[in-house]
């Protein structure tokens, strides 16, 4: 279920989890945090593209091209910006309310760059 706000559609973490997990996920989880944040802890299976690179004109990683996107950051602010920018570029994108903080608080997995248990920085 979408929650519509002035900045565009948002989903709660449980909806993000259901859309982006499993053998054939319906959407790609796109993490727009900076590299140090990503390295410390991210959702398994997420694709990384920092907001700074997206704003500078970077293209989506191959795994995310032409797919519905669920965009996440630490708290939800950057992901709102990224989802809006991606929608302006023609992508189907929603952002995750509460970001990785809410993701971890809901008990969803977080891994570091080596696949070990990670943390949100």
Q: Tell me the catalytic residues.
A: 73
Q: Exposed, middle or buried, 24 (CB in 10 Å: 0-12/13-18/19+)?
A: exposed
**What secondary structure letter does DSSP report for 54?**
H
3-class SS letters over 77-111: HHHHHHHHHHHHCCCCEEEECCHHHHHHHCCCCCE
């Amino acid at each position: 279920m979408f929650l519509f706000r002035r900045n565009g559609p948002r989903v709660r973490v449980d909806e993000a989890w259901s859309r982006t997990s499993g053998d054939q996920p319906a959407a790609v989880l796109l993490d727009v945090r900076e590299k140090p944040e990503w390295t410390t802890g991210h959702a398994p299976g997420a694709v990384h593209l920092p907001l700074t690179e997206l704003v500078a004109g970077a293209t989506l990683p191959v795994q995310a091209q032409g797919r519905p996107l669920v965009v996440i950051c630490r708290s939800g602010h950057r992901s709102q910006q990224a989802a809006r920018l991606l929608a302006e570029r023609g992508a189907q994108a929603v952002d995750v309310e509460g970001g990785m903080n809410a993701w971890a608080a809901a008990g969803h997995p977080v891994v570091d760059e080596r696949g070990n248990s990670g943390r949100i920085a």
